Amino acid sequence: MNRILLLALFFVFGFPLLADSSSKPVCLSLSDCETKADATTIHRKKITLLNFALSEYAKNAPIEKLLPLYLKRVRSIILEANGDTGYKGEIVLKVSHKPEYKQSQRLKAEDDLKFLESNQNYLTSAQTSELAELQTLFSESK
């Protein structure tokens, strides 16, 4: 009897609380996602935030607003695939990835680099320099 009562109480009070926590968006706008990505040093978290921004909020944004996000995302993808977690604590945390994972991340980075190259006429001179640096970093990470 007590188990049934506890189960009923969970469904009435506990289950709605769980549902509310999963429906909250990661960030609320393109700039909010970028700000949150800039606030963390952990590459996977940056990638998650920038992926969300580009998939959810990029549709109506001008290309000039998207390019910095692509630059940040491709940098984090390359660094993370090379084992740099971005974690800055008492111990520097590096990881080794399986070749399949590293290859899938390289393909994602390559797609972002191609997108940036195809929109090079929208890049500022600083962004063009950053793109060249990222292309070098990408080619060295093979």
User: What was the pLDDT predicted at 22?
Assistant: 56
Cα atoms found within 13 Å of the Cα of residue 140, Cβ hemisphere only: 8
> What pLDDT shows up at residue 95?
79
Three-state SS at 99? helix
Angle separating helix axes 63-81 and 125-140, nearest 10 degrees: 20
Per DSSP bridges, beta strands 84-88 and 92-94 are: antiparallel
Residue type, 100: E
Q: Sketch the domain layout of the chain as residue ranges.
A: 26-140
If you count them, how many residues does the chain have? 142
CB–CB of 72/40 below 8 Å?
Answer: no
Residue range 14-37: mean pLDDT, rounded: 76
pLDDT for position 73 = 98
Q: Quick count: other Cβ atoms within 10 Å of Cβ 110?
A: 14
Give 53's Cβ-side CA count (13 Å radius).
Answer: 26
pTM of the model: 0.80
Q: What is the pLDDT of residue 15?
A: 47
pLDDT digits (tens, 9 = 90+) for 53-112: 999 999 999 999 999 999 999 999 999 999 899 988 777 777 787 889 889 999 999 999
